Amino acid sequence: MFCPHKNSYLQLVCAMNPRVINKAVDHAMERAHFDPHTELPPAQRLESMQPSLYAPHVDITRAQLGFGRIGLRLLNRALHSTDNLEQLQALHSVLDQVQISENAMFLIDLQLVYRLIDLMLDRDPIIKEKVCLILTSLATYYQGRKRIMSRPVIIENLMRLIMRDRKEIRYAASYTLKTLARDRCACEVIMQNEQIIENLLKMVKSDHTGIVLLHLATLINLVEWDPVRALKANAFQVMLSLFENRDPRIVSKAMDCMSQLCKHDVGKILADDYDLTFVLRRFIKSPHIEVVISAVGLMEYTTLTTRSKWRAKEACNELTSRLVHLCCTHNKPLLQMRCMQVLINLCDSPDIRNHMKFYWEKKVKTIKIRTHEEWDGTSETSSYGLETAHNYRTMCIEKVETIKNDYGDNAEVVNVHSYLRTVLEIKERLLRAINWKPYKN
């Protein structure tokens, strides 16, 4: 019979259509059965079951084989079939089964990853897209990343797809590379490719917006691992040119990547040469909060040098006024921390310190820090963050650094109380910096 909850058949072979059996049983039990795949509205399928490229003679809403261990072994065997249609059906079923963690771990143990890597360069574009989607799901597990990175040739295959193939496949391959780059151990293997940084910088200049965002997320992790190669490849100039992009998401990601570059001494020198602190003045007034957070985060590194502090004195009133007002946005703790850190950096200059002491010390003392009951538990802006309220311990917020008391693979876990205590400590350091005297009275 067909199991709608797991989107699979309970047995491998059946003499009649399992849907007929299901309907007969429901009719005999006089039970109204709701199937979201057949009821209106029809667009209630899993996102993973809606690829951009559709295979012929394959029902994209139903898996072909069972979810049992025997069925998974047959799926793995069917991937080696010479029949293209059988391969497509097996790949579609694997794409469905890897959404279940138990089945994904079993398929990893069956060394499915090695066969998928061999299929990445298949002539059929549908196979290439599905393989990238499956590898992305498997790369979210530690065991999956370990198996995938044991074959470094996957990086060459991904770059070939990213550089030469159609946009649907470029997007899927870029998403796979971004998922792998989140692991620092995988970054070491990825950076062994001699042209990885140069190729990604070439693609961010002219590709589609969604693909550029994925490339920038990959570059942030790779540059954090080794900023020297990116600086030699003129990544600083490329990121600076992306500041003028119309999409605020690209601007924000480019600033985050620039922050990794400015951690290096050469990046700080380039920031002074290009007068980056003055370039960021207009971005901290942006109507997009993501751009403001990224711009202030970049200013944490551009205001470290003596030269930048002297330049900041020329716009002391404007900079300090805007940063102090941003510090008062108590519903964004990450923005508060970054703004206060920039002000601490600027207070190294005696003139700016005296200005802060005279005009803004009382305002800084009144900065409100949220309690853990008032905070939604996220450090980034998200539509989900506005809806979860106090349920951050039970809600899953995707692609957002969630401050929660939970543990898991690749989870960025921070205790809520310690996070807020860090914000309070930064506020105290700012007050000490404002009142700092380099000499004894």
In angstroms, the Cα distances linking 407 to 352, 353, 410 are: 43, 42, 9
Say how far apart CA 312 and CA 346 lie, in whole Å: 8
Do the beta carbons of residue 328 and residue 367 sit within 8 Å?
yes
Q: What is the amino acid identity at position 112?
A: L
Do the beta carbons of residue 262 and residue 298 sit within 8 Å?
yes
Residue with tokens 């965002």, as numbered in its chain = 213
**What is the pLDDT, as a whole number, of residue 28?**
82
Measured in whole angstroms, the distance separating CA 202 from the mean position of its chain's CA atoms is 21
Measured in whole angstroms, the distance separating CA 141 from the mean position of its chain's CA atoms is 15
3-state SS string over the chain? CEECCCCEECCCCCCCCHHHHHHHHHHHHCCCCCCCCCCCCCCCCCHHHCCCCCCCCCCCCCCCCCCCHHHHHHHHHHCCCCCHHHHHHHHHHHHHHCCCHHHHHHHHHCCHHHHHHHHCCCCCHHHHHHHHHHHHHHCCCHHHHHHHHCCCHHHHHHHHHHHHCCHHHHHHHHHHHHHHHCCHHHHHHHCCCCCHHHHHHHHCCCCCHHHHHHHHHHHHHHHHHCHHHHHHCCHHHHHHHHCCCCCHHHHHHHHHHHHHHCCCHHHHHHHHHCCHHHHCCCHHHCCCHHHHHHHHHHHHHHCCCHHHHHHHHCCHHHHHHHHHHHHCCCCCHHHHHHHHHHHHHHCCCHHHHHHHHHHHHHHHHCCCCCCCCCCCCECCCCCCHHHHCCCCCCCCCCCCCECCCCCCCCCCCCCHHHHHHHHHHHHHHHHHHHCCCCCCC
Chain segment 219-275, per-residue pLDDT in tens: 999 999 989 999 999 999 999 999 999 899 999 999 999 999 999 999 999 999 998
In angstroms, the Cα distances linking 390 to 31, 211, 374 are: 38, 34, 7
**What is the pLDDT, as a whole number, of residue 40?**
58
Taking phi first (over 0 means left), then psi (-120 to 50 degrees means alpha), and beta for anything else, what does residue 439 get?
beta
Chain segment 41-75, per-residue pLDDT in tens: 555 444 444 455 555 555 555 545 555 678 888 88
* Sign of the torsion angle spanned by Cα atoms 21, 25, 28, 34: negative
- What are the beta bridge partners of residue 116? none
128 CB burial (10 A radius; 0-12, 13-18, 19+): buried
pTM of the model: 0.77
Residue 8: closest CA among 77, 78, 70, 61: 61
- What are the beta bridge partners of residue 378? 402
Q: Which two tokens stand for residue 101?
A: 């963690």
Ordered structural domains, the chain, with CATH: 1-193 (1.25.10.10), 276-441 (1.25.10)
**What is the pLDDT, as a whole number, of residue 262?**
92
Say how far apart CA 237 and CA 283 lie, in whole Å: 18
Q: Which two tokens stand for residue 148?
A: 């995938």
What string of pLDDT tens digits covers the 441 residues of the chain?
455 555 555 555 556 676 777 778 778 887 766 665 555 555 544 444 445 555 555 555 554 555 567 888 888 898 888 888 888 888 888 888 888 888 899 999 999 999 999 999 888 888 999 999 999 999 999 899 999 999 989 999 999 999 888 888 999 999 999 999 988 888 889 998 888 999 999 999 888 988 999 999 999 999 999 899 999 999 999 999 999 998 999 999 999 999 999 999 999 999 999 989 889 988 998 899 889 999 999 999 999 988 988 888 888 888 999 999 998 877 788 888 899 999 999 998 888 989 888 888 888 888 888 776 666 555 544 443 333 333 333 344 444 444 443 334 444 445 677 778 888 899 999 999 988 887 654
**What is the pLDDT, as a whole number, of residue 48?**
45
